[in-house]
Structure 1
């Protein structure tokens, strides 16, 4: 991949497209769609996508057409149901047709850390891109002057609470470092992981439930808490400690979303992940083998 010009073009387009989805500059929708289309076309030419993946892209396109505001309510419901089922399958990597390239293979950030493997995923981010591009109400109506204070407040709460909890649970300890693969980790975590997860859990679940239930305080709080609980359950593969930690972090991301929109939620999520990556054991301490 390092010396493959087509791979460089693929990921440059996808990263820039993801940045447009998140930052939403002027005419962002057209720019994001064009960049992502170029990136996924190049991925197909590079044999990272097969016909099954193209069929899934077609399903997402059909679902996006079905959920537009002027469609019949039953058609919109079917579109959302198709999307949710597809998004869950994409997020757990069970759909065929995607050959996600491995860029970090079982490396240890510190001697006592568990091995860390990282892929540049082509499947999971599609669920986040769909939300922002297909749903008109996801267009950011918050200014950066709202996003930055919201991010600062959420991080001021999330960093000490989550990291102290992680240390107390025996998951990490203080371990400042700058790994040699930091740049690719930053690009992947910010533009693929955080954008996709926040678009779904905060934008789609929290924002969608708030719209569905009404914008009263009870509805907003219920949507906020439920999105955090679901975010915690989404980390079931790591065990109950990761689920607890993710749920607590999800409350902070939801607070950022309420005050500063998707931009703030993504910044908060990435900020906490970056503190974890650069200053503590990553991804976690190596657990002793069970007898």
Structure 2
């Protein structure tokens, strides 16, 4: 089921009919094994109806429909909708001796965010790009990933510590499809795009990055600051390419480099 769900997300930007077919199979499997229970099924049925209505753009009511879909997406991101039984993959594990313990799951609810928001905004996954004047800026953007992690190390939030945990493959699947893609769809595909349409690209980039940082408030002030800077990186990747998948790959690359070479999710004194 989880591989089918991941495949549906993979095909969504390229072959929408294939993606929706795989999503339908994933939903049926999730219902059969009780990953989706009655409250979630009812909520998803209502959300699907609103998404279809919003996609067809029937008058001014689409503003309210889009607001509803965005609220549903936010609730999915925060795991607020009842009836989802996400699969716990690792609980209280430590990537290394100086890393803090953490847990992660395969999140069915969060994985649905791209499908929900696509009903609200047809250009969610692909819009006109605003590329930099010089392609070398892409190299600068790539180099900013390790530089930001090193800056976090100098600030005392991380330590250099290499890892290759047994659960690495599961982490990569979960982080790419059920975390990075979901968050990039919400913060770049929808939020930054809507802000850019109304306020311009610079303000859209800045506000989306700030809100992305504030979404990490539970990790403390240092994490909020570095998440904001990471949000600028992801926002530029989206702005220059016009593709959510590009910002998703930057997001995933940052998280993977963090896990492989630094204390993850942060440094904890022994």
Tell me if TM exceeds 0.5.
yes
1:196-275 aligned at under 5 Å gives the runs: 196-213=182-199, 219-260=200-241, 261-275=243-257
Alignment of 1:70-219 (within 5 A): 70-73=57-60, 75-132=61-118, 135-140=121-126, 152-160=139-147, 162-213=148-199, 219=200
For the aligned residue pairs, the C-alpha RMSD in angstroms reads 2.2
Contact persistence 2:69–2:120 (CA under 8 A): no
Q: Counterparts of 1:48-67 in structure 2 under 5 Å? A: 48-67=35-54
Contact 2:30–2:36 (Cα < 8 Å) also in 1: yes
Q: Deviation per CA, 1:167-206: give whole Å up to 9, x if none.
A: 1332211111211111111111111111111111001011
Of the three residues 16, 19, 34, the one matched with 1:32 is 19
Change (3 A) 1:209 1:69: farther
Structure 1 position 223, deviation (Å): 0.5
Deviation for aligned residue 1:133:
5.5
Choose from 246, 267, 270 the match for 1:285: 267
- State the SS of the aligned residue for 2:234: helix
Query: Partner of 1:5 in structure 2?
Result: none
Q: Does the C-alpha gap of structure 1 residues 203 and 141 become closer, same or farther in structure 2, counting only changes over 3 Å?
A: closer
Instruction: Give the structure 1 partner of residue 4 of structure 2.
Output: 13
Q: Give distance in 2, aligned partners of 1:236 and 1:129.
A: 27
Q: Where does residue 29 of structure 2 map in the other structure?
A: 42
Work out the CA distance in 2 between the residues paired with 1:58 and 1:241. 40
TM-score between the two structures when normalised by the length of structure 2: 0.91
Query: CA offsets per residue over residues 141-165 of structure 1, 9 Å max, x none?
Result: 579x99x9876442212320x2123
CA distance in 2, matches of 1:77, 1:250: 27
Structure 2 unpaired stretches of 5+? none
Cα deviation digits, residues 48-107 of structure 1 (max 9, x gap): 11011111212321331232363212x111112111222222111122100111011211
- Structure 1 distance, partners of 2:202, 2:96, is 40
Q: Figure out how many residues of one structure are paired with residues of the other and give that number.
A: 266
Offset at residue 263 of structure 1 (A): 2.1
Q: Is the 8 A contact 1:125 1:196 kept in 2?
A: yes
CA distance, structure 1, for counterparts of residue 173 and residue 100 of structure 2: 22
Q: TM-score, normalised by structure 1?
A: 0.85
